[in-house]
Amino acid sequence: MLQHKIIIQNQLSELETIATTLETVGENWDLSMSITLNLNLVLEELITNIIFYGYTDKNEHFIEINIDFDDSRIFLKVEDDGIAFNPLLKEEADISLPVEERAIGGLGIHFVRKIMDTISYERKNEKNILTMIKTVK
């Protein structure tokens, strides 16, 4: 199994680190550009939500992202020490409504649900742990 770990600070500027790292990992692991872009979208949405809503202080926090690949599946695991939040309990976004009638927010989690095949959440040792699987072949 191929593995890569990224540890970032809770700053939006770190999204560039994630994108660059995913591009390199995607090339090294021979992933399609489509898969790489989808993984980047998933992580960008999740990390942005963690940074904006996960912390009640302005202190430095670290977010750990593990990416594993076993020839047919990508495993993403995101761990943060923010406030407890299970995105799987968030109501599904109603995308059938016109844009002006939709509630604000929720599309990021919608994208994650649509892109990834399996998603699980647990709260362990004061950390949110979101594990996702995407079949690629």
Encode the chain (137 residues) as per-residue pLDDT tens digits. Answer: 999 999 999 999 999 999 999 999 999 999 999 999 999 999 999 999 999 999 999 999 999 999 999 989 999 999 999 999 998 887 665 555 554 554 545 556 888 999 999 999 999 999 999 999 999 97
Alpha-carbon distance 10 to 14, whole Å?
8
Q: Are 121 and 132 in contact (CB under 8 A)?
A: no
Q: What is the pLDDT of residue 97?
A: 52
**First-residue to last-residue Cα distance in the chain:** 15
Alpha-carbon distance 56 to 65, whole Å?
21
Q: Which of 72, 17, 62, 24 is nearest to 43 (CA)?
A: 17
Domains and CATH numbers, the chain: 2-135 (3.30.565.10)
